[in-house]
Structure 1
C-alpha cells in the first residue's frame, strides 16, 4: 500500500512541477492524473497493489472533502459577497456537464448494436 501511495503522490508531484514550471492554467493534480493514465496505458493497467489502494481511497472519498468544507467556512465572507457569479458558474457548469454527458451517451448508444439481434433503435 505504501508503494502504491508513493506512486500516486509522485505523479501528483510531477503534475505540480509541470504546471508551475510551464505556468499552465491546469491544476497540477489533473496533469499528474493524466500522466498516471498514460503510464498505466503503456504498462497495461494497474497492478493489484495500486488497484486495492485506489479502491480504498475511493471508499473513503468523503473524508477528502473535509478540507473543501473548511475552505467554505474560512472564506464565508467572500462567498457572501460573490455569491451571484459563483451561483451562475455552478449552474452553467452543471448544465454543460449534463449536456455533454447526454451527447456522449447518444453517440455511444448509436454505435453499439442492441442486444435484440443487432437492430438499431
Structure 2
C-alpha cells in the first residue's frame, strides 16, 4: 500500500511540473512547448535538492518501464506524414547528424570537466 501511495504521489508531482510548465508557457507566451518548460522545472528542482526524492523515483519507474509504448504515437505520426518526411529527408538527415554530433561532443566535454573536478577534489581531501 505504501508503494502505491509513493507511486501515485510521484505521478502527481510529475504531472504538477507538467501543468506548471504548460501554464508558464501560456502566461509568458514563451516560444517553446510547455512540456519542455515542465521538464526543465523538474530538472532544476532536482538540482536544487541534489537528490531525487523517492516519490519521484516511484512515480517515474512505471513510465520508464513502458517507454516503448509512449513512443507509439510518434511512430504512427511518421507513417501519416511520410510524404512530407520523404520530401525533406536530406535536411532531416543532416539535422539529425549535426545535432547528434554536437550533443555527444558537448556531453563528453561536460563529463570530462566534471570528472576532472571530482579528481581534483579527491586529491585535495585524501580522507574520502
TM over 0.5: yes
Contact 2:9 2:59 in 1 (8 A): no
Deviation at 1:42, TM superposition (A): 5.6
- Matched residues in 1 for 2:45 and 2:16: separation? 12
The 10-residue stretch of structure 1 (68-77 or 27-36) with the greater mean CA deviation from structure 2:
27-36
Runs of 4 or more above 6 Å deviation: none
- 2:101 is matched with 95
| Larger helix percent | 2
- Aligned partner (choices 25, 42, 51) of residue 57 of structure 2: 51
1:100-119 matches, cutoff 5 A: 100-113=106-119, 118=123
* Structure with more contact order per residue of length (Cα contacts < 8 Å, sep ≥ 6): 2
Q: Secondary structure at the match of 1:112?
A: helix
Note the residue ranges of structure 1 that are not aligned, 5 or more in a row: none
- Matched residues in 2 for 1:94 and 1:69: separation? 20
1:56-67 matches, cutoff 5 A: 56-67=62-73
- 1:11 is matched with 17
